[in-house]
Structure 1
């Protein structure tokens, strides 16, 4: 079968190509990709090429398919897996596979390391190790984009589970955020911050009593507050506050004042900015855990930390890079119970938009850029649908659908796009 895919050959060398996939082996699965969510990790891989820890050294001779936040449906299942999967099953992929031996190495992952599997493709061959390691995850919900966004949501879930607190008089660490504690999300209204807010408000087993979300962009704060409201949070027993620290003379004092100067049990940093890290450290309470979520591009990134508090107030730091398979399963499960990740998505595009969008991702405003790989469509903000729709009925109808859903993408919008993509006349 032929596939169309965006392949990486080296630093900033992405190419949209059509080529033939090999016939699947008995231990492989042929799958159709429906959508992929662009990720900053792909931007980093595209810019670093073979210097990236997950990209193979011989990528110039054996290019890999980029994209790792994808979903679709199975087309043909090899005999080894016929008892577990079947054609027509919808799926998501856990790209962070943990194994010692493999074709590329311990860090190999779909979307970074493989010739025949990645999210920015129309069809892919899923290798045996994905199934062996339990990383091909069934999705039984509606549509496809929620399954695509289960990977970024799992990163948030993993980070929150990774926080820990100490038990006085012992060396036992209690994992996760403090139930009923004080939690802060700094620089927290970007795409992943929105996912963290959404998850925190919908979680049933553990939640903070005070939840402060900060940023310096009022427009982004207002959008977050309209999607994940203070009233909804209150119904979940959470005192949610959106705070613009740019308006504060002394952000540290102002944020601590909200807690009665006790400080926060759990502080998450969602931007790789030294000043934000130092602000997070300064607002920690006793036994507070600072979670450095945002991965920096610079290997020598540093920030100051108060080690007096490390010693006497037992403050500590943790960081994670991606979620594990259990985190993705939790993401898929919580979405089946009402969590809709559509608030992360601000742009929709087709395969033809992938290269330019990936290489310019840090400069593109808004949240997640969702790509439908069987569609040709320029990367388009959802907010622009109505304007474009003055001369295009498909965009106009998409605007109607999104307007009745608080301006958000939805299963209805996805189904309409997939059914009418050929009528878009995108050129």
Structure 2
């Protein structure tokens, strides 16, 4: 079968090409890709080339397919896996497979290391490396884009699970956020912050009694409150407060006052900005845990921390970078039960837009850029649909559909795009 895919040949060298996939072996699966969410990690791989730890040294001769947040449908199943998977089944992929015999050893991953699997393609071969690690995950929920966003949502889930607390007199760490505790999500109304708000409120097994979400942009805060209103949180037994710390003379004092003077059991910093980290440290309660969620690009990034409180108030810090396989499974389960991660998505496009989008990703505002790999569409902001629709019936209809969900991407919009957008 022929596939069209964006392949990496070296630093900044991405090419959209059509080529023949080999016939699958008994321990492989042929799959159609429907959607891929372009990640900053793909930008790093594309710009670093063989300097990237997951990219093989021979990509100039054996190019790899980029993209690792993808979903689609299984087309053909090798004999070894016929009892577990079937044609027509929807899927997602956990890319962090850590397979010791992969192209770059344990760091091998779809979207970085393989010639025949990556999200920015029309068809791929899912190798035994992925299947042996149980990293091909069935998805039974609506649409395809939620499964593409399972990986970023799993990062949020992993962060919540990674927080920990202690019991006086014991060295046993109790993992997870505090049930019924107080939580602050700082710089928390970007795409990943919105995913965190959605997950925290939607959880049924564990949740805080208070969640304060901060930012310095009133526009972003208002948008977050429109998508996830305080009333919805209240219906789920959470007091949700949005705070603009840019308008407050003493943000730490104001945040502590909101907590009733106790501080916060669980604090998440969603921006790699020193003042945000230091603010988070300053509002920790006794035995509070600060989770540094946002990954910095500066290898020398640092911030101050109050070590008096580390010693006498048992405050502590944890950092997470991605979710594991269990987090992916939980993300897919959440979405099959109704959690919609559409708040992450701000742009949609086709396979033809992948190269320019990937290489310029740091300069494109907004959240996730969602690509439909069988389509030929320019990368387009959802917020631009209405204006474009004045002269283009396709975007006019999409504008009407997303208006039903407060400007968010949705399953109906996806179905309309898949039915009406031009093929690549």
Q: Give the TM-score normalised by structure 2.
A: 0.97
> Does the CA contact (< 8 Å) of 2:36 and 2:372 recur in 1?
yes
Q: Distance in 2 between matches of 1:26 and 1:296?
A: 42
Correspondence for 2:193 = 193
Deviation string 1:47-97 (CA, Å, 9 cap, x unpaired) is 222222222222233222111110000111111111111111110001111
Provide the secondary structure at the position in 2 that maps to 1:106: helix
Correspondence for 2:386 = 386
> Does the CA contact (< 8 Å) of 1:44 and 1:297 recur in 2?
no
Q: CA deviation at 1:276?
A: 1.4
Correspondence for 1:204 = 204
Q: Distance in 2 between matches of 1:275 and 1:36?
A: 34
Correspondence for 1:314 = 314
Q: Which moved more, 1:55-64 or 1:30-39?
A: 55-64
Q: CA deviation at 1:11?
A: 2.3
> Does the CA contact (< 8 Å) of 2:65 and 2:121 recur in 1?
yes
Q: Which runs of 5+ in 1 are unaligned?
A: none
Q: Distance in 2 between matches of 1:203 and 1:31?
A: 32
Correspondence for 2:73 = 73
Q: CA deviation at 1:260?
A: 2.4
- Alignment pair present for 1:248 and 2:251: no
Q: CA deviation at 1:203?
A: 0.2
Deviation string 1:110-138 (CA, Å, 9 cap, x unpaired) is 11111111111111110001111110000
Provide the secondary structure at the position in 2 that maps to 1:298: coil
- Alignment pair present for 1:93 and 2:107: no
Correspondence for 1:218 = 218
Provide the secondary structure at the position in 2 that maps to 1:195: helix
Correspondence for 2:120 = 120
Matches within 5 A, 1:320-359: 320-359=320-359
Q: CA deviation at 1:4?
A: 1.1
Q: Distance in 2 between matches of 1:14 and 1:261?
A: 53
Correspondence for 1:229 = 229
- Alignment pair present for 1:265 and 2:280: no
Deviation string 1:130-161 (CA, Å, 9 cap, x unpaired) is 11111000011121111111111111101100
Correspondence for 2:38 = 38
Count of residues in Structure 1 that have an aligned counterpart in Structure 2? 424
Provide the secondary structure at the position in 1 that maps to 2:114: coil
Correspondence for 2:148 = 148
Q: Which moved more, 1:379-388 or 1:253-262?
A: 253-262
Provide the secondary structure at the position in 2 that maps to 1:416: helix
Q: Distance in 1 between matches of 2:221 and 2:301?
A: 27
> Does the CA contact (< 8 Å) of 2:31 and 2:74 recur in 1?
yes
Correspondence for 1:168 = 168
Q: Which runs of 5+ in 2 are unaligned?
A: none
Q: Please, what is the CA RMSD of the aligned residues?
A: 1.4
Correspondence for 2:3 = 3
Correspondence for 2:403 = 403
Q: Distance in 1 between matches of 2:100 and 2:308?
A: 39
Correspondence for 2:239 = 239
Q: Distance in 2 between matches of 1:48 and 1:356?
A: 16
Q: Distance in 2 between matches of 1:30 and 1:378?
A: 28
Q: Distance in 2 between matches of 1:358 and 1:158?
A: 25
Provide the secondary structure at the position in 1 that maps to 2:305: coil
Q: Distance in 1 between matches of 2:151 and 2:223?
A: 23
Q: Give the TM-score normalised by structure 1.
A: 0.96
Provide the secondary structure at the position in 2 that maps to 1:223: helix
Q: Distance in 1 between matches of 2:359 and 2:274?
A: 24
Q: Distance in 1 between matches of 2:271 and 2:14?
A: 27
Q: CA deviation at 1:353?
A: 1.1
Q: Distance in 2 between matches of 1:261 and 1:254?
A: 10
Provide the secondary structure at the position in 2 that maps to 1:147: helix
Q: CA deviation at 1:362?
A: 2.0
- Alignment pair present for 1:58 and 2:65: no
Q: 1:158 to 1:395 in 2, by over 3 A?
A: same
Q: Distance in 2 between matches of 1:156 and 1:280?
A: 17
Provide the secondary structure at the position in 1 that maps to 2:334: helix
> Does the CA contact (< 8 Å) of 2:139 and 2:336 recur in 1?
no
Deviation string 1:240-265 (CA, Å, 9 cap, x unpaired) is 11111111112222212211231111
Provide the secondary structure at the position in 2 that maps to 1:87: coil
Correspondence for 1:136 = 136
Q: 1:371 to 1:303 in 2, by over 3 A?
A: same
Q: Distance in 2 between matches of 1:169 and 1:99?
A: 40
Deviation string 1:91-111 (CA, Å, 9 cap, x unpaired) is 000111134443321111111
> Does the CA contact (< 8 Å) of 2:188 and 2:194 recur in 1?
yes
Provide the secondary structure at the position in 2 that maps to 1:170: coil
Provide the secondary structure at the position in 2 that maps to 1:422: coil
